Amino acid sequence: MSIKRLYFALTAMTLFALGISAQNMQSVSNYSKRHNDLLAKQNRVKDQIRVQEAQKYAAELYEECEPEPDIYTEGWDSDLVNCYKDANVPNTKVLDVRHYVMPIKGNYVTSHYGYRPQFGRTHKGIDLRAAVGDTVYSAFSGRVRLTRFERGGYGFYVIVRHENGLETVYGHLSRFLVKPDQYVKAGQPIALSGNTGRSTGPHLHFETRFMGYAINPEAIFDFGNRCTHTDSYTFSKATYTKARDYAPSKRYNQAKKSAAEDRETASKKNNKKEQPQVTASTRKSTRESRKEDRSTYKVQKGDNLGKIAAANNMTVAQLKKLNGLSSNTIEEGKVLRVR
């Protein structure tokens, strides 16, 4: 074996030993190349897989609620909402997205944009983690087009029209801080987030529209890093639904952490409520017994494997293997091994 071949063999072995594959070694140039590929409408198969991956992760972490009906096309007053219905929308248009402010503090997307086969509907925006009463900021400067309430969908929502040609939609709000026709600056508080309309928990539903076309907000914004991908977004009828790379596998740990925090806050709140009951009662609550025996978990109402796995820092596959489960459905009251 020549010295050169020996060197290559050793390098390969070292990389293998460190568990490094070419896939997760990402250089800056590789990252910007991906952006360029997408800008050049050459969205690669790998990026499609990443979107699916992200949806898988989201499904594992959160029980996904049914996507809202499209206010631009399905709302009872769709004519007013979609003023672009008969407009001649250009095939491509470069939009200036330099002067942005992220719509909410925090960087965690709990539900991505995209088609949901189980509901036969497309989620036309993204859901961002938010508590009831968090401030919602206008993403760009512009003018409030409308503030509305829709019980079966967006709840209280605001549509702002921006100077760059985009419109942004903010849904499930608890309170408006602006009135229709009012001019707003990028970053101006426009509402408080909430849990109104068709929503299973407090979050901000956020959409980016160009003449009625719901662009994947993750094509414009990198929510994890709280910035835009590039200074301008090129709207294209061919690619507006596609996300730019947001490396879901990298975000997964951040997402897991945030989800665990959510659960912790929720359980703290519940514990506070349960305190008198626990001391008064001789039978320990399941929450209490769970604290004592951390190796098992009794399935509660509304639980799913994804939730339980995430709460115990494992994957659904690991949880299933540990308990010899073959299906994804679990009965309430079943005791699962989690260690």
Nearer to Zn ion, 205 or 229 (CB): 205
Q: How far is the CB of 110 from Zn ion (least distance, A)?
A: 9
User: Between the CA of residue 18 and those of 7, 15, 209, 249, what are the distances in Å?
Assistant: 17, 5, 44, 18
Strands (E), the chain: 92-96, 109-111, 114-116, 121-123, 126-129, 135-137, 142-150, 155-162, 166-176, 183-184, 189-193, 203-210, 213-215, 221-222, 227-228, 232-236, 296-298, 335-337
Q: How far is the CB of 147 from Zn ion (least distance, A)?
A: 18
Find where tokens 């001391």 sit. 279
Sign of CA dihedral 191, 193, 199, 205: positive
Q: How far is the CB of 125 from Zn ion (least distance, A)?
A: 5
Q: How far is the CB of 205 from Zn ion (least distance, A)?
A: 3
Nearer to Zn ion, 34 or 172 (CB): 172
User: What is the binding site for Zn ion (CB under 5 A)?
Assistant: 127, 205
Cβ-proximal residue to Zn ion, closest one:
205
Residues 6 or more apart whose CB falls under 8 angstroms from that of 330 comprise 299, 303, 304, 305, 308, 336
Q: How far is the CB of 208 from Zn ion (least distance, A)?
A: 13
Assigned token pair, 283 = 């039978």
Nearer to Zn ion, 69 or 297 (CB): 69
Nearer to Zn ion, 191 or 311 (CB): 191
Nearer to Zn ion, 127 or 150 (CB): 127
Q: How far is the CB of 61 from Zn ion (least distance, A)?
A: 15
Contact of 62 with 127, CB cutoff 8 Å: no
Nearer to Zn ion, 69 or 248 (CB): 69
